[in-house]
Structure formats: structure tokens, C-alpha cells
Amino acid sequence: MSTQIKINESLVKYLQSVGYRSDPIIDKLEEETAALGSISRMQIAKEQGQFLEMITKISNSKKCLEIGRFTGLSTLFIARGLQPEGKIVTVDNSNEFLPLAKKYWDMDNVSSKIESIIGDGLEVMQSMIDRQQNFDLVFIDADKNNYLNYYELSLNLIPSNGIILLDNMLWSGDVADNNKKDSRTNMIRELNLKIQKDKRIDFSLIPLSDGISFIRKK
């Protein structure tokens, strides 16, 4: 019987060395984001971005929604994976890092595929539902205390076979530490259990970087 290997620091370094194909635009955006200081932890790992791009391609997605943009790395990867006529709508409650994101979107010639909305993610999603909008793929990487709400709203924005991807579902390992009882950790634990039992979907929890839940609506 196959077992889960233990991921130690040396294995993480190995995965980072061979699990991502270096790209000058992506590497430069990551470097500029890292220069922002501790807040740079909000950025997805490049290996995750590569995974997002591949899933977008495999699913032939034409309409994608992202909740939580930060400096636009995940947006860029998804935009790269879109069909030629595809579009990604990215939502964030702040425009602070939008100029930085746009600089690299322009550099990569994907800006025409990206619509950026500044607003509350939950409110924007509910408005989209009210207007009967739908998407092929939804990527969530926003405030963890609202993850359960984002998940439920996402299910109302995708058709059968639509995809939801949720970042940070292992939450630096805190989800497995019974001593961690803060609201964000508890929310992610609650959502992981809900997803596991939810008969509306198929799923896989993938230990890539900080954990990605890969969900298909039945």
C-alpha cells in the first residue's frame, strides 16, 4: 500500500528546484513582491501558479474568477492558461498593489484578458449570482475567515464540471496542530471537513506548497 511521504526541508528544496520551470517575467514579479517584506507571504508559490495554469489549460476554461489578487502572480498564470478568447475577472478589496500587477500583466501581454474589480469579494460574488453570471473556474485566495462563504458562493457561480481551487488549505500545517485554535485555522479545518463530506462535488486536497483543494462540481 502506498503511503504519504514526509515532506522535510530538503525535499521542499528539491521540489522547488525541479518542480518549476524558470520564467523571467514570473521570477522578476516574485522578486519584486519579495522586496515588499513580510506581506510577500501572501503570494502563491510559483509551483502553485504553474499548477493553476495547467488546470486552466486542461479544463479549456474561457471564463475564470479570482478572489484575492495581491501582486497579480496567480492572475498572470491563469491568464496564460486561458483559451484565446478567454477572460479572468480578478477581485480584491484594495488597489494598493494593482499598478505592480498591471506592469507584469502588460509585460506578459495578458492584460487584455484581465478585468480587475476593487471591492468586497463576498459582495461582488453575490452580485454576480444575482446577475446570473457563471465561470468555468474559480480560484480563492482571500481572507480565511470567509472561506466557507466563498466556497458556497463559488458553487453557485460554476456549472456542472466547473472547478474551484482554494489556496492555503493546510495553513502552514496549523490545521493538524490541536493547540492552534484561532478563527482562521478553525475555519479552514471546518471547510476541509465540509468539502470531504459534500456530495455535490468531487475533490482532492493536494499538498502543494500551503495546500490546494481541487474541486469539481458534479
Angle, vertex CA 81, rays to CA 23 and CA 12, nearest 5: 50
Q: How far apart are CA 175 and CA 123, in angstroms?
A: 28
Note the residue count of the chain.
218
pLDDT single digits (tens) 10-63: 998 898 899 899 999 999 999 999 999 999 999 999 999 999 999 999 999 999
Average confidence score pLDDT of the chain: 96
Q: How far apart are CA 68 and CA 143, in angstroms?
A: 8
What domains can be seen in the chain, in order of their start residue? 20-217 (3.40.50.150)
Three cell numbers, residue 184: 482562521
DSSP character string of 99-134:
HHHHHHHHHTT-GGGEEEEES-HHHHHHHHHHTT--
pLDDT single digits (tens) 138-186: 999 999 999 999 999 999 999 999 999 999 999 999 999 999 999 999 9
Average pLDDT over residues 100-124: 98
Three cell numbers, residue 10: 530538503
pLDDT single digits (tens) 64-89: 999 999 999 999 999 999 999 999 99
Q: How far apart are CA 145 and CA 162, in angstroms?
A: 24
Report the Cα 183 to chain-centroid distance in Å.
20
**What is the per-residue pLDDT for 16?**
86
Band the pLDDT of 2: cuts 50, 70, 90. Answer: low
**What is the per-residue pLDDT for 4?**
79
- CA distance from start to end of the chain: 29
Collapsing DSSP states into helix, strand and coil, what is residue 150? helix
Band the pLDDT of 7: cuts 50, 70, 90. Answer: confident
Band the pLDDT of 3: cuts 50, 70, 90. Answer: confident
**Confidence (pTM):** 0.96
Q: Which H or E element spans position 165?
A: strand 163-167
Q: Among all chains, which residue has been given the C-alpha cell 474561457?
A: 62
Q: How far apart are CA 75 and CA 204, in angstroms?
A: 22
Q: DSSP H helical segments within the chain, as ranges?
A: 9-18, 24-34, 46-58, 73-81, 98-107, 121-130, 147-155, 183-197
Q: How far apart are CA 93 and CA 107, in angstroms?
A: 24
Q: Are 179 and 189 in contact (CB under 8 A)?
A: no
Q: Output phi, psi for 86, to 5 deg.
A: -75, 165
Dihedral over alpha carbons 213, 214, 217, 218 (to 10 degrees): -110
